[in-house]
Structure 1
């Protein structure tokens, strides 16, 4: 479409050179040509030239000037598709995708067949998951460019994502017919497999099977072909063919668990005897396959289980398999199997000690077991008793293992885990530190040690430990943030929260939030790449992964920590009392105050640089010390790597970071910030009751009764017996019965009617909260977690009954359930403060009920 402000030939040639300079990233030349046009008084306000100048300035990092020029150009030429397109590109560079889509749509009003604008619009629509708009845009591109395969693939994929499988298949089939058999190899194979995926998801199993049989010769991925065919045979109840296909797959890979389950389904096995017979045959066919021996343990019972698990344990202990307990841990949920395993292992210990065999009857028939057999038996028993919360026996066996082989790293890692479960993070960290010292080149042990340090609130030590594997010249904390090491940042956030450093904790939570934002934005690069390279199945998987990305445990942990910190900051806002220096500054004239501020900024920057340099110097000294130790062990190794460049030794300047802990901890609206973290959890982690409990806490403080009721009802669907849910009900009852507060919150009678109808089933027609709490305590008189919540609500409803409430959770007996160190951490601090004698009595009873606690050297004095 011709411009509404046409340029004469000379200026038009300059404008084309601006476009070419932009495409070639020659931004200075582009600005020079734009200046030549705009210096002419006749074209000083030429809209498209101003817009292109703004776009060029944006690429040079001059964002404010860029927006000024683009908006000025758009005002001068509202009917130019170039101006609207450029404004959309500017919005897209700032991640304002919704605004960019509006700009592209306005551009299409003046040039509806502009292919470049349509392509840019389609990318934003798939990024924002506007699937219906994406379908329409891809149709326009197909109509304009039917000779490009990306036009066909994009249009078909739009239908696929909208679950319109028939139209998607029709488009793909029309596109396939345009191809010759030798047009592609792997790309055509991927297209055929993608067509199968669409048919399979659409329930067209017979059609998909015929499709695979027809194009079998053109499919290069034979493994995917066999797996797809086996699944289709099962769906079509053609069990004989499915069995043959799964047996072929097992010959290719007998260590794939899904192939065994598929074979079971193909054989139609339901009883224990049938399944055990099948696996007996498979053990003969695949004698080296571990799964053929492991899976039958899930089905066997009685004496057959004892025989099979005995064979499995002996084989693994003879060979030396550290993850044996992790492999068999799922069996512990089945009644009686853990007891059988324990009896066998204790028998192994006795026999190995006596005659170096697993059974005394094998003395004549079999050679002696290796010395490591008893070591791995000790190792397994330590984990076995730790699983059953018997830390005394677990510690006994892990110490026997360490006495047997004091240089085995796995033993110290497990010992640290025992201390962690017993509630002693300091001893746990010391064990991991000893394990790490045995092999300083093992990154896994290094990371594990750092994690245990963070659990013990030793953040600086953890950073120093991680610095052995981070980039030199940059602090470990910065480098871990660059590498998106979210486990470290999550543990840091929780550690800072325990230590009461709220700003630092929020900084880590926001860093993790940024990582997820970056991951979502990074998919933008794949929208064109995947269709161009025909990796269609992987592309669909990527889109579906990105849709549920924030359901990842890393995000949940960070969001929960951030919400809890913001709730604390709302309840206990930080107040900065003026210091003597601040009082003196208040009396200074503006000129002197400005100079003082500049000096303070320079001093703070200099102190930060000195801190960074000191930390980097410590890291360098530690690396040099380890290098000297390695050279002492191997005198010839120092010739391989000598001095580093001086440039590598120099500390990089710290990057500008807008996440300042001081400002984060003093945010004006902590509840609004908490909701930003809460909303993704409500959408993607709604199956976790913690999400709805946190939502209730936020909405209670905001005074939103309808949202409070909604959170409680959602929590009841997830876990109606959760103890913390009772405290939410009591506080909701008190909030709704507080007439003054409710009258301010509920102004419409319809809202009051909804609240009345929805809360009656929740409160079970109890008019008084005290009666509801009393009934809860009577129903859960033997559960410590429930008693704890009931006692809290007793004090909440009537503060004068605090002594009675403390007695509920300190006078325990063997009949009480849930008496563990972890559950007891929640109330011991408060009990020490108000009733120390009862708290000490409770500690002794906890020691009696939870054998883990006996391994702690002293009662914990600080709890999270």
Structure 2
């Protein structure tokens, strides 16, 4: 379609050169040609030229100028599809996708058959999951370009994503029949995609017939066999399915899924049948590990002892480091744990005496010297898993004495100390391990992680710096590489240290990583259709839909919400307001201390400023060198995350809600999501949203101790703020299955009676008892601070009790704290949380306790 405001030939040629420069990323040359057109007084306000100049400026990072030029161009030529298209591209670059879609639709009003605008619109629609709009746009593209393969595939996929399987299959059939007979990998992928659509429609029999008809044209024979087996199981054609999975096991006897499917096809009625089947495959494939390991899941009694004896001997003889990890799932059965323990103790004794695994093996060749080492190593992990720290340390020390150069031993010793509650000692042993092999990236990363658990952030950054790019600060390079394990651990460390701005910065960086991963979909929307990787593409779209359910995001969001709640409850002082100190009435010694403290604070602030300036200078040099290498590839940068601004947010609760919303949608199966939601809405005073949170949590775990504290506070909130009208009716109707009555004290009393043998429940019940009746301090303390004969008494729970005592959840109780720490110190002698420090402050208490709690939980 011609321009609504055409240029004469000379200027039109220049305009075409601007377009070519933009396409080839020669942005500065594009600006020169735009200047030549706009310097002519007749065309100084030519809309499309102004728009293209703005688009070029945006690519150079000059965003404000870009918007100014594009808006000027649009005002001068509202009927130009080019101006609207450019404005849409500008909005898309700022991730304002809804606005960009509006711009593209306006552009199509003036040029409804523009292929490029329709393609850009379809990309945004699938990115935003506007599936109905995507279907309409793909239909337009299909009608305009019916000979292009991508037009057919995109049109069919739009119906597939809308679950209109019949229409999707009709389009795919028509397309396939119109193709030339070229049976290559792309045709094979198309057939597999069509079969996937049939399966998702629920027509397993049709899918099987389709596979029978076209299996010769499909190149991926393994997928064909797996699909055959799956479909025949669904159709209860067990004998055929059995044959398929036997063929697959002949190809790959290490695939554990095939064994499970084969057992299903053979319709085993008891574990003994499965055990017999696995024994057959062990005899058939004597070198395969999978059937040997799977037998241990089904065997019991003496049979289990014989089988695990063989498995352990083989692993210890060969020296398999992850042997314990491989068998850890068996530790749910106490009988199996006892059997493994008795065998290991027998091995140690026999190996020390005569170099064999048992006395009956004396006539056989001796085991290698390393067999004893790996037995010690396994035993140490065995005792650590059972919480027997002293025995675990004894075994790992014996292993280190045997071979003091094996890195795995030092890593395991550090892990034992971590589980025992001593993160500093754990870090020291990991540092020792890292010193034995400084070129091992895994050990380096593990050591850095333990440093972060010990709140040694600077040291962790230096440790990771050995493997990051030279000339760039390690923290910055780790952010570039989306190293989220480091950032989530660093956020937790900053949180424990009370550096809330830095903690929030790390959480926001993780959030940006997930946004960037979702942005990266744009690269695949056209690529996958062109390369016909259609099944993988559908899998990618479905993964992206639930991306923020990933544990990394959950950890970062949880940390951010906790910090924002803390900042809401205890806002930071305004740095612009200097504290007035009465220096005249201070004693000379106190005045001297104050002056020294102020001097140190000034020095520290100056040092931090210099370091920040140095880092900024390095960044600028790095960017400058990149621009010199390729001056036309300048990219706009995201807004810088400044810790001081983040920790002084005007509305911390609203910021917390932003992190909460993805969790409510994608991690609704985790009770922590709804407990955090309650904490936010409780502070906002939103009664119905509080009710929604406790209802969802109650459906997941009605007897959760943390939920109980939410229920009591909800009842207290309702009592203080009487409800009226529809809200009162809704609350009354929706809480009938949760509360028998609206008396918080009675609810708490019933909860304590019901859970009188569980420490986590007693802790929350005692906290609520003191909250409802501060005069009942003595009773609350007696409930929470006695750990003998209770369930759930572990390091994490006891640490939470101590934290509650020191945070004055039970009022001031110095003697109770001293008595409780004495009890716990005897029970957990290696944990640092219960050792009496020289001096305590509320902040350092919280840091130490949460460090231990986080470390043990991980």
Normalised TM-score (structure 1)? 0.88
Question: Whole-Å Cα distance in 2 between the matches of residues 851 and 831 of structure 1?
Answer: 18
Change (3 A) 1:808 1:214: same
- What SS class does the counterpart of residue 49 from structure 2 fall into? helix
Report the counterpart of residue 654 of structure 2 in structure 1: 672
- 1:752 and 2:756 correspond: no
Per-residue deviation at 1:79? 2.4
**Aligned 8 A contact 1:820 1:846 in 2:** no
Match of 1:447 in 2: 445
Instruction: State the partner residue of 1:627.
Output: none
Q: How far apart are residue 579 of structure 1 and its match?
A: 6.9
**Structure 2: how far apart are the matches of 1:32 and 1:793?**
72
Q: CA deviation at 1:431?
A: 1.0
The Cα shift of 1:581 comes to 11
1:629 corresponds to? none
Q: Per-residue deviation at 1:853?
A: 4.9
| Structure 1 residue 50: Cα displacement | 2.4
Distance 2:706 2:548 in 1: 25
Distance 1:27 1:835, change over 3 A: closer
- Cross-structure match for 1:62: 62
Deviations 1:147-174 (A, max 9, x none): 1100011111111111222211111111
Query: Are the aligned partners of 2:185 and 2:219 in contact in 1 as well (CA < 8 Å)?
Result: yes
**In the aligned structure 2, how far is the partner of 1:562 from the partner of 1:112?**
46
Per the alignment, do residues 847 and 25 of structure 1 end up closer, same or farther by CA in structure 2, a change over 3 Å counting? closer
Q: How many residues align?
A: 800
Query: Which whole-Å CA distance do the structure 2 matches of 1:516 and 1:557 have between them?
Result: 13
Counterpart position of 2:672? 690
Partner of 1:643: none
SS in 1 for 2:357: coil
Q: Are 1:71 and 2:71 counterparts?
A: yes
Does the 8 A contact of 1:391 with 1:854 survive in 2?
no
* Cα distance change of structure 1 residues 338 and 602 upon mapping to structure 2, 3 Å threshold: closer
Q: Which has the higher contact order (CA 8 A, sep 6+)?
A: 2
Alignment match of 2:690 (pick from 699, 708, 711) = 708
Q: C-alpha offsets along residues 446-505 of structure 1, whole Å, 9 cap, x if unaligned?
A: 111111111111111111111111111111111111111100010000011111110110
1:11-60: CA deviations, max 9, x gaps? 44443343333333343444344344444444443332322222222223
Counterparts of 1:184-199 in structure 2, within 5 Å, are 185-199=184-198
Q: Is the 8 A contact 1:559 1:677 kept in 2?
A: yes
- Note the C-alpha offset of 1:760: 4.2
Match of 2:612 among 603, 608, 611: 608
- Alpha-carbon spacing, 1:320–1:35, altered in 2? closer, same or farther (3 Å): closer
Match of 2:556 in 1: 558
Q: Which runs of 5+ in 1 are unaligned?
A: 584-599, 616-646, 648-654
> Counterpart of 1:277?
276
Post-superposition Cα deviations, 1:99-118, rounded to whole Å, max 9, x if no partner, equal: 10111111112222111111
Among 723, 744, 747, which residue is 1:772 paired with?
747
Looking at structure 1, the residues matched to 16 and 787 of structure 2 have their Cα atoms a distance apart, in angstroms, of 85
Alignment of 1:373-522 (within 5 A): 373-522=371-520
Corresponding residue number in structure 1 for 2:260:
261
| Larger mean Cα displacement after TM superposition, 449-458 or 263-272 | 263-272
Asked whether 1:46 is paired with 2:46, we answer: yes
CA deviation map 1:723-767 (0-9, x unaligned): 11111011101111113xx5xxx6x7212221232234433214x
User: What is aligned with 1:572?
Assistant: 570
- Contact kept in structure 2, 1:357 and 1:368, CA below 8 Å: yes
Q: 1:613 Cα shift?
A: 9.9
Is the 8 Å Cα contact of residues 782 and 816 (structure 1) preserved in structure 2? yes
Question: Deviation digits for residues 540-599 of structure 1, max 9, x if unmatched?
Answer: 11111111110000000000000000000000000135577999xxxxxxxxxxxxxxxx
Q: 1:24 to 1:658 in 2, by over 3 A?
A: closer
Q: Distance in 1 between matches of 2:615 and 2:204?
A: 65
Moved more, 452-461 or 774-783: 774-783
With normalisation by structure 2, the TM-score equals 0.89
Q: Call closer, same or farther: CA 1:210–1:702 in 2, change over 3 Å.
A: same
Tell me, in whole angstroms, the C-alpha distance in 2 between the residues paired with 1:218 and 1:852.
67
Match of 1:621 in 2: none
Corresponding residue number in structure 2 for 1:626: none
Q: Report the CA distance between 1:852 and its aligned residue.
A: 7.1
1:716, CA displacement in angstroms? 0.7
Residues 538, 582 of structure 1: alpha-carbon distance in 2 compared, 3 angstrom cutoff: farther
What is residue 810 of structure 1 aligned with on the other side?
785
Report the Cα distance in structure 2 between the residues aligned to 1:69 and 1:614, rounded to whole angstroms.
Answer: 33
Cα shift at 1:714: 0.3
| In structure 2, C-alpha distance between the alignment counterparts of 1:359 and 1:736, rounded to whole Å | 69
- In structure 2, relative to structure 1, the CA distance for the partners of 1:808 and 1:45 (3 Å cut) is same
**What's the CA shift string for 1:251-298, capped at 9, x where partnerless?**
221111111112111211121221111111101110001111110111
SS at match of 1:794: helix
What is the rounded CA distance, in whole Å, between the counterparts of 2:39 and 2:130 in structure 1?
43
For structure 1, which segment, 543-552 or 804-813, has the greater mean C-alpha deviation from structure 2 after superposition?
804-813
In 1, Cα distance between equivalents of 2:192 and 2:230: 14
Q: 1:383 to 1:852 in 2, by over 3 A?
A: farther
Tell me the residue number matched to 1:663.
645
Q: Which residue of 2 aligns with 1:843?
A: 821
Q: Distance in 2 between matches of 1:272 and 1:230?
A: 22
Query: Which residue number corresponds to residue 591 of structure 2?
Result: none
Contact 1:421 1:852 in 2 (8 A): no
CA distance 1:39–1:580, shift in 2 (3 Å): same
8 Å contact 1:325–1:384 — kept in the other structure? yes
1:863 and 2:849 are equivalent in the alignment:
yes
Aligned equivalents of 1:780 and 1:857: distance in 2?
26
- Counterparts in 2 of 1:27 and 1:468: CA distance versus 1, 3 Å: closer
Root mean square deviation, CA, Å: 2.6
Change (3 A) 1:613 1:823: farther
